[in-house]
Each structure stands twice: as C-alpha cells, then as structure tokens.
Amino acid sequence: MPPCPDLAALRRHAVARSLFTPTTLLKAVEQIGGFVQADPLRAPARAQDLTLRHRVKGYQAGDLERRYPRLPLQEDFFINYGFVTPELRALMHPRTARRVWDKARWKQAHAVLAEVERLGEAHPADVDAALGHGAVKNWFGGNSRLTTELLDGLHYRGHLDVVRRDSGTRVYRLAAPWQAHPDPQTAMDAMADVLVRKYAPLPAASLGQLIAMLFFAAHQWQHLRKATLARAKARLAHARIDGVDWYWPADEDPARGWRIPSQVRLLAPFDPVVWDRRRFELLWGWAYRFEAYTPAAKRVRGHYAMPLLWRDQVIGWANASVKGGKVAVDCGYVNGKAPREAAFRTALDDEIERLRTFLALPPTR
C-alpha cells in the first residue's frame, strides 16, 4: 500500500499530472479527460488556447479553431461549454434540457431544423433571414434573436453539430441520430471518471460539486447523481489530510515523488490546475477569483488575472496584453514581491517569450 501523501505531495501531484510533456492537440485533449473548457474573452487569448498552449507542442493562439473542422472534436456543453471528444459526447446524448419547450416552441424549432437541412451548413443570420422569427428576451434580460436561441437549444439537445466558426459565429449542420447508452449508470460513472481525470486530486466537497454539475451534461439522468457520487468514492483512492478528505484515480500515487521543473507558467483562469477555487485555496493558501465580470473599481487583481505558477507554487498572478505589437505582462505577488532568486527572473522571461511565440508576435529587439 503506497504511503499516505501530505499536502505538499498533493500539490506536486496536481501540477505534474496536468502539466504533462507537450504532445499533439488531439492527444492533449484526450489526456486532460476529453474536454477543454471554452470562453469567448480574449485577454490576450481565449481560455481554450491558453490552456492548450502548455500541453500541445508548438501550439499558437487559434490553432484549435483553425484545425477544428478536421479534428474529431465537437463543441458541446459538458459541465460547462467547450470542446469534447466523440467518446465523451456519446455518453451525454440524446439529452433532455431543464427548460421544457412547449408545442409552439417545438414547431418553431422544427422549422429551424428544416432550414438547416435545406442549407446544409447554416449560419444563424441565414436561418433568421429565411424564418424571420424576430427578437425575444434572453435569460439575462436583454434582447436576442429567437432563431439564435432556438439554434442554441437544438445544439444543446443534440440535434445540431457545429461545423466551424465564421468570425467567431457558430455554423451548424444537422447531427446524426443518437443511440442512447444502454446503461445510464455506466455512462454517468464514465463521465464522473472524466471529471476526476481532469481535476484530481479533489477534496470531497469539490468531487461532490463536480458530479452534481453532471446535471448539465445529462439532465435525463439527474436522479443518478447521488449513486454516481457514492460509486466514485468507492472506486477512487482516498486519504484524509489535514482534516480534509481527498480523492484521486486509484492507479495514481501522489506520494511517488513527482519532478516539477523550475518553470514559470501563466495559467488561464479555467486551466485544470486552478479551475477548482476550493482546491486552489487548500493547495496554495490564498483565494483566487476571476474578475472579468467584476466592476473595474472592485477588482483586486485585474480584468483577466492569470495565476502565476512557479515550480509547484502559485505565487501570484499576471495580466497580459498586446501593446504596439508587443506582449506586456504585469505581475502581482501574494506576499507583495517577486522571488529574489535569479532563476525565477530567467524563468519568467522565458514564459513571456513563450507567450509571445504563442501569440505569433514579432521578436522583441
């Protein structure tokens, strides 16, 4: 039986298992569970690109979107919106939605499906022009096109695929009919394993929260969430450390002595290493918050502050931007100042240079 890890070992495990040696794009997506969270903000690049740049050899901003039509990946909603493998997507569909459409709304939806079928590959503006559905109030009180809302709903329900994006706008086609998984509990267990593979090691409260979020992935099986959590806890490795129960895959050993390179990494706010804010505070001892939607006057660390990882410690944050064709990085530190060792300054410069290359900016002179 492997020795019980301490919190320092869990921290090294969390970093090393997620920030693996860069590989191909598809292999990287598979290695982090088959799901990459997406976000539209670009500061200095979108979250999916900032996540993949650490894990894909030679990755540049926009590579996922450029290569998407040729990859066996699909945009879809898992526990949040992003890019999923076919294997993961097949576990979720055919999916019901929390918001039930009445007969009138389904009549409109079927008209949208017929128009998408006619077009073959359908841009929302073309569907809207053909059907003229007009505007509706959206969930946050503003106005949006009914056609767009219907397309989103049909995509979520598995009736549409995203073929590509045109200037950021999703282009749709009809999806093939889905075959329901023969064993819903097995499907839920597999989705729970995806979450553990992506975010382990996990404190018990975070494991429970993530499995509850499978409500979004497979609403039709929400009654199985409690059993899914119990089954996950039974098959995962477990230890109680400093009064907190932690879980990770049974075939992994957090105490094995992971090697962490002397490297600085600027992580996306949704990177698997830092995504779980509860785990973040337990592992690194301070609270990180995503402030992009916080009023400017109330921000503590910046609009898109990226956690700054040095070796296995998140010691601060950085706001990065492009000014005059050059990348500008403004760092802040939890203890008020940067590490004094020369190795850190060199590692930070190296990370800024990697960020420049990732953004395809010209070399600094």
Q: What is the pLDDT of residue 53?
A: 98
Q: What is the pLDDT of residue 142?
A: 59
CB 167 within 8 A of CB 183: no
**Residue type for position 155:** H
164/71 Cα distance (integer angstroms): 11
Handedness of CA 266, 268, 273, 276 (dihedral sign): positive
Closest CA to 308 of 281, 329, 278, 282: 329
318: three-class secondary structure by DSSP: strand
Q: What long-range pairs does 69-73 form, CB within 8 A, spacing at least 24? A: 69/163, 69/164, 71/25, 71/26, 72/26, 73/26, 73/29
33/16 Cα distance (integer angstroms): 15
Handedness of CA 345, 350, 351, 352 (dihedral sign): positive
Q: Count CB atoms within 10 A of the CB of residue 243.
A: 5
Question: Where exactly are the structural domains of the chain?
Answer: 103-174, 264-358
CB 301 within 8 A of CB 317: yes
327: three-class secondary structure by DSSP: strand
> No. of H helices and E strands in the chain?
14, 14
Question: What is the pTM (predicted TM-score) of this model?
Answer: 0.94
DSSP secondary structure letters along 227-245:
HHHHHHHHHSEEEEETTEE
Beta strand spans in the chain (E): 35-37, 74-77, 81-84, 135-137, 143-145, 160-166, 169-174, 202-203, 237-241, 244-248, 264-266, 306-310, 313-323, 326-333
Q: What are the distances in angstroms from CA 303 to CA 3, 48, 300?
A: 42, 17, 9
341: three-class secondary structure by DSSP: coil
105/164 Cα distance (integer angstroms): 26
Inter-axis angle of helices 204-212 and 225-235, to 10 degrees? 140
Q: What is the pLDDT of residue 132?
A: 82
Closest CA to 172 of 152, 190, 201, 198: 152
Residue partners of 152: CB distance under 8 A and separation at least 6: none
CB 73 within 8 A of CB 32: no
DSSP secondary structure letters along 113-151:
HHHHHHHSSB-HHHHHHHH---EEE-TTSSEEEHHHHHH
Q: For domain 103-174, which CATH number applies: 2.60.40, 1.10.3470, 2.60.120, 1.10.10? A: 1.10.10
Q: What is the pLDDT of residue 134?
A: 63
Q: List the chain residues with pLDDT less than 50.
A: 140
End-to-end CA distance of the chain: 55
4: three-class secondary structure by DSSP: coil
